[in-house]
Amino acid sequence: MDTAAALWGAVVASGIYHGVNPGMGWPLAVSAALMDRSRASLYKALAALAGGHLLAMTAILLPFSALLVLVEWQREIRIAAACLVIALGLYLLINRRHPRFLARVPPTRLALWSFLVAMAHGAGLMLVPIYLGICRTIETDPGHAAASSLMTGNAGIALTVATAHTLAMALSGGLIAAGVYHWLGLRFLSRSWFNLDLVWAVSLILVGGISLGFVW
C-alpha cells in the first residue's frame, strides 16, 4: 500500500509540476483574458488547455494498458518504457529548441495546442513508468485474470491516472493564471517569465532511472 500511495502521489506531483510550468500554457490563458478583458475567457482557456492535456495523457497511457495483457512480458515492457523516457530526457537536454510547428497553431485552438505541446514534450511518457508501477501493485486473482478483464482493469487505471494528473495540472496552473490575471498583471508576466525546460529534461531522466531501479 505504501508503494501504491507513493506512485499515486507521483501522479499528482507531476501534474502540479506540469501546471506550474509556463510551457504548458497558463500564460496563454492569462493573455486571452487580458485581451478580451473577461474573467470568463480565463477559465475557458484553462478548460481548453486541461482538455488537450487530458487527451494527450490518455492517448499515451491507453496503448500500454493493452500491452499489459501480455503479463509474461510485463518486466520487459516496464524496462522499455523507462528507457524510452530516459532517451527523451537526454534528447531534450541536448536539443533545447521548441518544435516549430507549435508556433503555427493559432491561439484560438488552445485544446489542440495543449495536446501537441504535451505530446512534443513527453508529458505523457513521464507518467508511463508510474502507471506501470501502479498496475503492478494491484493484485489480480489468477483464476479471473483473463486477457479481456485484465485489459479493462488496466484501461480504467490509465484513465484514472490521466484524470488525476490533469486535475492537479489544471488546478496548479489555474491558480497561477488567476493570480497573475487578478492581482499581478501583464507586467509581472513579462518580467517574471521562467522556463523549466532544463529541469523538465532532467526530471524525465530521473523518472526513467528510478523506474529502472524498481524493475531491477
pTM, entire model: 0.75
Predicted confidence at residue 145, as pLDDT, reads 46
The number of folded domains in the chain is 1
B/e letters for 171-190, b = 16+ CB within 10 Å, e = fewer, are: bbbbebbbebbeeeeeeebe
The domain containing residue 172 runs over which residues?
Answer: 2-215
Residues in contact with 49: Cβ distance below 8 Å, sequence separation at least 6, in sequence order? 24, 25, 26, 28, 29, 110, 111, 113, 114, 170, 173
Residue spans of the chain under pLDDT 50: 101, 103-104, 141-148
pLDDT one-digit tens code per residue, 87-133:
877 877 787 665 554 544 555 678 887 888 888 777 777 788 878 77
